[in-house]
Structure 1
Amino acid sequence: MCKLNILVERIPSLKFTSFFAKVHIFLHHKHISKKCCLLVTLYKIRRLVVYPKGNEEDNGRGFVSMYVECLSSTTPPIDVFAYLTFFVFSEEEKKYLSIQDVEVKRFNTSKTVWGLSKALSIETLKDCAKGFILYGELHEFGAHVKIVSRPVSFGEDLHFHKFSWTIRDFSLLRQNDCVSKTFHMGEKDWTLTLYPKGDSRADGELSQHLHLADGETLFKGELIFVRVNLQVLDPRGSDHLTGSINGWVMASTKAMCLPQFMPLAKIQGSYLDREGTLEVEIECEVVNSIKNHPCF
C-alpha cells in the first residue's frame, strides 16, 4: 500500500463531494467510531473507525489503525470511488499530520470498509516531542473522504513500453550526465538520464533516472504510477545486470530514481564491448494514472 505523510495547517473544507470527520479519543480505548453525515453522495452515512491500540485482526499491532466505513443500511448498489486521507493533530506543530493513501478505493456491497491498519506507530503517537498528546492521553483524529469518478485505468494496465539505449565510448565520457532520446509511454513523453560517474546518492555506482521529458507537465492532482525493469546487457553472454522498481511520479518530482545496483568498476570491466559501448534496456509501463487527487 502506498501512503504519504505530510503536515497541513488546516483540515479540508466541507464540499458536496467530500467530508471531514473529527473525533477526540483516549489511548486506553480499544476502538471508537464516529458517525458522519455527507450531504450529497450515494453514501449518506459514513463512519470513522479508530483503533488507538491497533487492529490486530488486520495486522495492526503496534500501530494506530484508522478506517472509513459505510454502514450496511446505506451501501449503494453500484461502485463508488474515493480517496482517503487520515489526520492526527499535533499540538506542538499546531498542524495536522496528514496520512494519505494515494490509491483510490472502491466501495461497494462487498467492500464497505477501507483504511490503514498501520496509519501511525503507537510509539510515535505517545512521543511527547511530537505533540500528538493534547492533554492527559487525549488525541484528535480525523478523516477526509473525496468522492471521484472512476479513475483512469483503475485495475487496468496501460501500454507496456520497451526502450533500448546504446551509449558509445562510455569509458571516455566526460560529462556528468547523458540524456536519452524521448520515448512515449502512457499519455506522456519520457527520457532516461544516466550518470556515468555516479551521483551524490550513488557514489561509485551507475545511477539512472526516469524523467518526464522537457515540456511535459503534471497538473495539480495528477499522479502517475510507473513500474520499471532495468537491464545493463552483458555483451559476451547472458549475465545481465537487472533490477526493478515501481513508484509514483508527481508534480513535485517529475522523476524516478532507478535501482542503484551497478558498480561502475564492474561495468567498466565486464559490460562494455570491444568498442567501449554500453547497452541499456528499460521495460516500463504506466500501471495507474490519477488525474485529480485532492491532496496533490
Structure 2
Amino acid sequence: MDSPFSDQSGISRDMELKKSAEGTFLRVFRDVPPSHYLLKIQSFSSLKIFKKFVSQKFDAGDYKWKFCLYPNGDKLEGHISVCLELSEVDSLPTGFEINVIMSFFVFDQLRDKYFSIQDGSVRRYHSMVTEWGISEFLDLETFHDPSNGFLVNDTCVFGAEVFVLKNTFKGEFLSKMNAPLTQFHTWVVENFADLKDERYISESFGPHRWNVTLYPNGHQHAKGKFISIYLSSDQFLKPNLFVDILLRVKNQRTDSHVEKKALNHMLSPNDTAWGCSNFMSLDTLKDPKQGYLVNDSCIIEAEVKVRFWEYTV
C-alpha cells in the first residue's frame, strides 16, 4: 500500500518550491483563509496527549472528508503531521478513483497570514489508499517559536483545501493537413476613372467563394492616397483553415507587379477579410508611364492556396 504521507520540513517567509522523493510542494504565505475546512484549537498542549485528532466531516468536490492532525508526528517525532481522509468510503461504487490536489494551512496570528503548503502532485484516492498528507508539515520547534506566530497563548489554527479533478475536458485529434488547393482569379477593372462608389466586389471564385474587394479611392486612413484591396469569403469558413494569399495589381507592360502576400495565415469564421488599405498609391497607379492603368483599365489578380487540418473529436 502507498504511504499516505509526503515528507516536508522547514519554513520560509518567501514563496518557494520544495522537492522531495514524493513530489513538489508550493510553500507560501497568503491572506485568504482555506476555503474548505478550518480548525481552531484553544489548548494545543492538551491535544498533545493524543496521537491523532480526526475532525468531523466536511464537504468538498461532492465528497465527504475528514482532516487529521498528528500533534506529535505520524512517522517522525518532532513534527506536526497533517492528512486528509476520504470519508463514507463504503457508500462509493466499487473500483472508485478520486484524483485531488490538496493544500494544508497553519495561521500566523502575528502577521494575520496563512502559511500554506500545496501538494504539487495529483493524489489518487481509491479503496487501498483513503488518506494522503504531509508527515513533516511543520517541525515542533518552529511551531512553538513565539516569533513565528503559529502558537499564541496555546491557541493555533489549521486548515485544508481539497480540489477534486473531474474529467470534463474536450479533446481533438489532428490526423493530417490536407493537400493544398490553389485557386486563381483575374479581375479586369475597366473605366477606372468612372468608379464613383466607395467599393467594388469581384465575382466569387473557388469552392470557398472568395471575392476581391477594391476601394478605388482608398479605405479609412488611406482615402485619397491609395487604393485598398481585400480578400474575403461570403460563406462560413471551417475552423483551422490556413491560407497562403497573394493579391496583385499587374503591370501590363513589365514584370514590375505590385503584390502583397500572407503565408500560413489562419482565417476563422470571425474573420471578415484580409488585405491592405495602402495597397498601392493612386499616383503610381494613375501614372501612364508606369503601366498599371492602361486604357483606363487595371488588372487585379488573386491566388489563394487553402489548407486545413483534418481532425476528429
Question: What's the TM-score, normalizing by structure 2?
Answer: 0.41
Question: What's the TM-score, normalizing by structure 1?
Answer: 0.44
